[in-house]
Every structure is written in C-alpha cells, then in structure tokens.
A and B are shown apart, each in its own frame.
Chain A
C-alpha cells in the first residue's frame, strides 16, 4: 500500500527547465539566422500518475511546443524531460520504445487526425499491432473492449472515419490512444473543435477513463471552464514561461499573478448576474521573437512597477507551498 501511495505522488513525467528556441531566418537562398523565437523558455512542471496537469494561456504562448517536446516531436534546446525519474537524454532504443507506447496523444482536430482510407477498427488497433504480436482472436477481443470503452458499437469498427461525426471521431482517436494502455495521454485542445452538446460527452469519457485506468493527462486548453472541470493542477503560460502554477481549486479561488487574474476576468460569465473584477489588458500579445525585457507581461500589466521592466521575476512558492507565482508583487 505504501508503495502505491509513493507511486501516486511520484511524478510520471517531469519537465525541467525546458527551452525550445526556433531559429528565424531571412533570405531564400542563403538562409541567415536573424533571431530566434523563444517558443518555450524555461518551463518546469510535473505530471503525477492518475492526474491531469493543464497548461493554459493564449495563442502562441508555447503550449503545443511544450507538448511536442513531451511527445518527442521536438527536441528541447535546453533542459530535460524525465520519465519515471529517468532523463530522456539517456534513453536507449528500448527505453524509447517503452516511452513511445506509454505516452500517447489526442489532438484537436478529429477530422484530419484519422487516416480516411483505413477502417476504424484498423486505425484503433494499428499502434498495438505494430508493437505486439497478437493472435486474431486476441486482437478481436481487444478491439471489442476498446470500442466499448469509448462508447462505440462493435459493428462500427468496420466503418470508415467519414461515416462518423466529430464527437465519434474523437472517441476513435481516444480508443487508438488507449490501445497500448499508456500511462500518459497528451490532449491538445481535445474538445474545442467539437459541438457544445458533444463536449460534455467527451470530457466525461476522459474523466471516466482516468478513474478506471489511472492514466495521466497533459491537457492543453484555452477554455478555463474546461480546465477547471478536467484538471488537478494548472500551469498558466505567458510567452514561453509558466507564470503561475497551483492545484486547480487554489488557482481559481485564489489567483495571484496579474495575468491569471486578467484571464479569469476575461473569461465569460456562467450567469448574466455575475460581475467580474474588470482587469482590462491593453495592447496585443507580444511576439516571442522579441519578448519584452524584465517581466514579459509588463507592457500589458495594470500593476507594473519600475522594477518590472528591468528585472525578470522568477517562479517561487507563495504562502501555500503548492502555489507558485512569478511576479514582483509577491
């Protein structure tokens, strides 16, 4: 029992001080590097077994790039990612193989993420069949249980993706991600392309699966209500950095960073009588090509002080040790 508890608090994935810089080039023939986009600029967080860690923030703040590093699609420019305490940089081919089957993904667009020429049963089973040898019967049984798990009928395994609605295609993508019994699933905006009435079906399905299998999620979403419903921990990103992090309830009831407050204040109310504290941000989201000096948020921050344009704040624990914020006010 004690080991089970220890395992539950031990992070399954640790992202430590990760950076991803993309070179920006000019010229068509002689490509000259003229700068770099700091898409992710020193991000640290931990995903615990059976929990959901969410990244929120506005477009371009580096959420997907962070997810891509976890999925081995992008290599960090600096920093490390650890899987059960083992640094990915030290992986051998066997470790990679295990990692690839333990960490799966479901993306936003259920229309383009499924091969249109494959039957759904084949799509779902493909990752499993390329990794394991199964007899015909075993494969059939496994497919049946996966379809059932995501709320699809047996006979639908013989259909093609175009014969399904958006919500059903997302179920197919989830079944495929589940086929290898992963420990972690990266969910990049899994419901934002779906119809309102279908979103709840998919969110509930994801929560049920987590409860049943103890799978962890790295969830990327810009909708705060979705994040509140789905996650245990939330990291708020701004221009490639996590500016605040806390357990979900703590973050929503006691937001500290001015950007988090602004995001919550800009989120749409759930009832016409709800009046929010008005924190109007001026200006646009700045570009990660030329992030402002000091605190990257200072040009838009209603509380900015002299110090903010000079000195970069660091993420540190608040009174609540689980709550961290990166702002000179604290």
Chain B
C-alpha cells in the first residue's frame, strides 16, 4: 500500500463528554492518533469503550445536546474541524470525510431509489450537474460490484439484499472522492462470504484512490485482515497503539493481551480460552488510576492510585500501563 508521510487526519487529546442526570460520562477522554494517506487504522475495544463516539466526534455528529466535545483538536489536512461551523462541516462530510455504519438502512432513505440517493450526493460537488451525472452514478454502482447497475439504479433499498445495500452505502460514501472513510462495524451484520467480498472491495477502492480508512470493530479478525495499525480503546481511552504485526506478536497492554487470548481461533484448536473476569467500568464512575485495574491480573498498588502514562514499547508502539515502565 502506497503511503504518504504527512498525516491526513490528526486527532489530538480529544474529549467528548455526556452530561447526564447521573453524572458526567467521559465517552472519549484524551484520545490521540494520526492517520496517513492510504493507511488503515483499526480501532478495537468492547462495546461502550468510546469507539463510535470518537468517530462521531471526528464527523461532527456528536448527539446533541447531551454530548459535547470539551477538548482537543481534529485536524483534517491541517485544518481543525472542531472550529468549523455546522454548514462547513456538512460540506466536509459530503466531500472529504465519510462514514459507513453497521446497518445500511440507517444510512439509506427508504422512500428514494438508490439512484436518487447517489445522484443527490454527486450534486453536492460544484460543477457536478446535468446529464453525465446519471452515468456517473451507474459507474459508481458498478465500481462497488453491483451487477446490472443500469437496472439496479431504479431499485428502492428494500428491494436489495443486506450485502447489496451495504455496497450502495459504500458507493455513496466514495461518491465525493473522500480523503478519510470511517467504517463503524460496517460489516458486522453481513454474512461471512458477503463480508469477505465487501472487505475485498474496500481494499480495491483504497488502492485506486489512496483513501485512508478507520475501521471501528470489535473483531480482531478484521484488524488482522485489513489494518496497518491498531488502536485499542478501553473505557474512553486509547490504551495501546501499535503496528498490526507488533500488536499480534507482542501485545503490551494487559487488556489487549487478555482480549486477544479470549477470542476463539478458526485456524487452530484451542484447549481453553482465557476469560477476562468482570465487566468494563461505567464511564461516569471511573476508578481513579488505571480503569482496567479491577480486572487486571497484574494490577499492583500504583495502578489504583494514578492513571498510567504512555510508555514506548517498540517502534511506533505505545501503551498506557505501569507494568511496562
């Protein structure tokens, strides 16, 4: 994969909080990472760890009014998106940034044909009007491998299978030739062989366009197959960031290690799976110190007193854990 050196996207110390009756939910609490051109970053973690909120913060789509970005920067090609007006963000979302969600029905409008929805996105780009636009829409459908695109363009979403709908969402996403694509559990609801086709498709699109991708998933298999680097989130924080092979060969953070050992394996027989006891903490009642301490087999005194600082454990490999000092 051809990768440029300058980051396309840089997230710095992002903090997104929810103000609820029971307290402040720190959904994203000081997350930083960067993404290069053509690079694929995986973001993994259990549900509720803040993956989607990180994505929605980047997109400028944090649920209002409960949620608020209270700190940090999101630099897209050097410009801070957190300083943009809602109108500017809407434009950026149609063009430079896009997102694919788990359920394609939430991204597609059931009362319009898929052709109409594609054309509407294509129209967002100035100068993109007139006759050629329908051809361009058909071209996009064939690019996402929809057979007989001329016929399918007149279909309503409910006339398509789940896999086809997700490909239409993909076509809409790439219609504006974006720089960054965020896929949030985008293939979770697809069947294995259809998921495989979709992942291959994203790969090809990326090779064609130099798109950078953020893959949000709880599945280490997707990470292994698709990603160059991986960010592991726990309780609103990024606890480990590593190149993909490093992460699989020597996970540094005890949470990453435990999570990887708890996943069954198709490729070999596993005698007994490691099970992480307990559950992740509630984000409005975070313990002081390391949030993983109540479940961590290595926890010691310091862990419950102070949040661990970032430790460099290898090249471009960082983890927040006192044990690694």
A interface, CB within 8 angstroms of B: 58-59, 165, 167, 195-201, 203-204, 222-226, 228-229, 249, 252, 262-274, 280-281, 283-285
What are 24 sample pairs from A and B whose C-beta atoms fall under 8 A apart? A58-B191, A59-B191, A195-B47, A197-B259, A197-B279, A200-B275, A203-B264, A224-B266, A225-B264, A225-B266, A228-B264, A228-B266, A229-B270, A252-B266, A266-B192, A267-B192, A268-B221, A269-B224, A270-B268, A272-B248, A274-B224, A281-B193, A284-B161, A285-B191
Q: Which residues of B contact A272 (CB under 8 A)?
A: 223-225, 244-245, 248
CB-based contact A196/B46 at 8 Å: yes
B interface, CB within 8 angstroms of A: 46-47, 147, 161-164, 191-197, 200, 218-225, 244-245, 248, 258-259, 262-270, 272-277, 279-280
CB-based contact B224/A200 at 8 Å: no
The listed residue with most A CB atoms (<10 A of its CB), out of B218, B267, B268, B270, is B267
Chain B: which residue is nearest A252 at the CB level? B266
Q: Which residues of A contact B272 (CB under 8 A)?
A: 204
**Cα–Cα distance between A199 and B222 once the two chains are bound (Å):** 17
Further contacts, 8 of them, CB under 8 A, given A200-B263, A229-B265 = A196-B218, A199-B262, A266-B196, A267-B266, A268-B222, A269-B225, A280-B197, A280-B200
Q: Which residues of B contact A266 (CB under 8 A)?
A: 192-193, 195-196
> Which 3 pairs across A and B sit closest by C-beta, in order of nearness?
A268-B221, A266-B196, A200-B262
**Cα–Cα distance between A203 and B263 once the two chains are bound (Å):** 10
Q: Which residues of B contact A229 (CB under 8 A)?
A: 264-265, 270, 273
CB-based contact A264/B266 at 8 Å: yes
Chain B: which residue is nearest A271 at the CB level? B248
CB-based contact B196/A280 at 8 Å: yes
CB-based contact A228/B265 at 8 Å: yes
Q: Which residues of A contact B225 (CB under 8 A)?
A: 268-269, 272
CB-based contact B267/A200 at 8 Å: no
Which residue of A165, A249, A252, A264 is within 8 Å of B279 (Cβ)?
A165
CB-based contact A268/B219 at 8 Å: yes
Which residue of B46, B161, B162, B194 is within 8 Å of A195 (Cβ)?
B46
In the complex where A197-B46, A197-B262, A225-B263 touch, is A269 in contact with B221 (Cβ < 8 A)?
A: yes
Q: Give chain A nearest CB distance to B269 CB in angstroms.
A: 7
Q: Which residues of A contact B192 (CB under 8 A)?
A: 58, 222, 224, 263, 266-267
Q: Give chain A nearest CB distance to B288 CB in angstroms.
A: 22
Q: Which residues of B contact A200 (CB under 8 A)?
A: 262-264, 273-276
**Cα–Cα distance between A200 and B46 once the two chains are bound (Å):** 13
Q: Give chain A nearest CB distance to B234 CB in angstroms.
A: 10
**Cα–Cα distance between A203 and B192 once the two chains are bound (Å):** 21
CB-based contact A222/B219 at 8 Å: no
Q: Which residues of A contact B248 (CB under 8 A)?
A: 271-272
Q: Give chain A nearest CB distance to B161 CB in angstroms.
A: 5
**Cα–Cα distance between A283 and B193 once the two chains are bound (Å):** 10
**Cα–Cα distance between A284 and B266 once the two chains are bound (Å):** 24
The listed residue with most A CB atoms (<10 A of its CB), out of B164, B193, B221, B273, is B193
Q: Which residues of A contact B266 (CB under 8 A)?
A: 224-225, 228, 252, 264, 267-268, 270
**Cα–Cα distance between A283 and B191 once the two chains are bound (Å):** 13
Q: Which residues of B contact A252 (CB under 8 A)?
A: 266
Q: Which residues of A contact B194 (CB under 8 A)?
A: 58, 284-285
CB-based contact B193/A58 at 8 Å: yes
**Cα–Cα distance between A285 and B161 once the two chains are bound (Å):** 9
**Cα–Cα distance between A223 and B196 once the two chains are bound (Å):** 13
**Cα–Cα distance between A280 and B191 once the two chains are bound (Å):** 14
**Cα–Cα distance between A260 and B306 once the two chains are bound (Å):** 51
